[in-house]
Amino acid sequence: MAQISKLKVLTIAEYNLIANKDPVGSYDRRTRENLDAIRARLRDNVARLSDLERRLHDKFKDAKFQALDKKDRQVRSEVNRHRLSARTRRMLAWSGSALAVTVLGLGFVYALVLDAATQKRVDYLIYERLGQLGMASPQEVKQIKGELDKLERDLVQTKKKNLELAQMIDQMIQNNKVPQNLQVIVKRIHDDPRAKYVKQGESTRLLFDGKPIAQYSTHAENWYILGILETGMLKVFYNDEEILEVPAIFGRKDEETPVGEYEIENKLYKPTWYKKEEVNGRTVVRAIPFGDPDHEIGHWWLGMKRLGKPVPGSYGIHGVNVARTNEFFKKNYDHRGGSAGCPNIQEWNLDFLAHVLPTGTPVHIVHEEKWSKSA
């Protein structure tokens, strides 16, 4: 964020728009117009550029942005041509033993001798010739093309999302913006197989696609959690710096979350939930294992030990069931009326905290925040 504050020509929005783009990438018309306008501003104000803006100018001064629809047509054409030509090669093999021997021989040369560019030209010639001979019916070609179009769209979309996510993470790492963007990072990488938490000595490292995003100490004195009932937030501090602000649901009326000081006592993965229920006029506790349809506390339980004056009950930070995930974003939703007393948070935040928070981490639950880092 210190680097962003040194911008002299660009706004923060303009910088964020162009910083993670590819100089030869493909984008829609509006995005290309905006990028070209930013490039023009950099070019027309070379003498005033900061070091950060000068690097952007050097990177994009010769940029050649391509139209997205043109790239899509090229990709679809290449995929269709390759798939359809493979189909026609199989049809040739069925046409007769003599022709099959010829095709096998050509296939051997095709696979082991020709380079990729020549293979594509051969594919095109074969398909073009078979089309002239009428060996592929229009209905069959249409069906295959429809299936291939869907497959190609799915593959391209998945690849695009993976590439954008990797670029976003790389840019955040390069700009030393992990603390400012950790909320976004944690949500985007949750359940992504490329995200790994690795314990190394007295620290835990968060990796994405093999690259380190952040590293945290496993000593409890480096951590502090502040739960604020009035605003429905859990604030996570590391070495006296706020690294995460987590939306939370606290206890409803008559089951309010007790204010006071706690510490993380244990961390349980796929915990059993002990739910209070009324049966024949009596309050009983039912043990609900993880995976049961009635289980509602998520993949982790971060048990909190009360310090000082004890309070009845057991409290811990845990998740919510799928049906309640959107409650965090409902307009006018009362975050103090959703749980039986435990702080409830979303799975991606819970997963991150479960991996990096050491046992013994202090937790302070208050009605309202009376201290801020900037004060």
d(CA 351, CA 152): 33
d(CA 256, CA 60): 55
Within 8 A by CB and 6+ apart from 184, the residues are: 168
Q: Is 57 a catalytic residue?
A: no
d(CA 319, CA 270): 11
Catalytic residue among 82, 299, 335, 342: 342
What does the H/E/C string look like for the chain? CCCHHHCCCCCHHHHHHHHCCCCCCEECHHHHHHHHHHHHHHHHCHHHCCHHHHHHHHHHCCCCCEEHHHHHHHHHHHHHHHHHHHHHHHHHHHCCHHHHHHHHHHHHHHHHCCCHHHHHHHHHHHHHHHHHHCCCCHHHHHHHHHHHHHHHHHHHHHHHHHHHHHHHHHHHHHCCCHHHHHHHHHHHHCCCCCEEEEEECCEEEEEECCEEEEEEECCHHHEEEEEECCCCEEEEEECCEEEEEEECECECCCCCCCCEEEEEEEEEECCCEEEEEEECCEEEEEEECCCCCCCCCCCEEEEEEECCCCCCCCEEEECCCHHHHHHHCCCCCCCCCCECCCCECCHHHHHHHHHHCCCCCEEEEECCCCCCCCC
Catalytic residue among 219, 295, 299, 318: 318
Q: Is 335 a catalytic residue?
A: no
Amino acid identity at 274: Y
Q: Which residues are marked as active site?
A: 318, 342
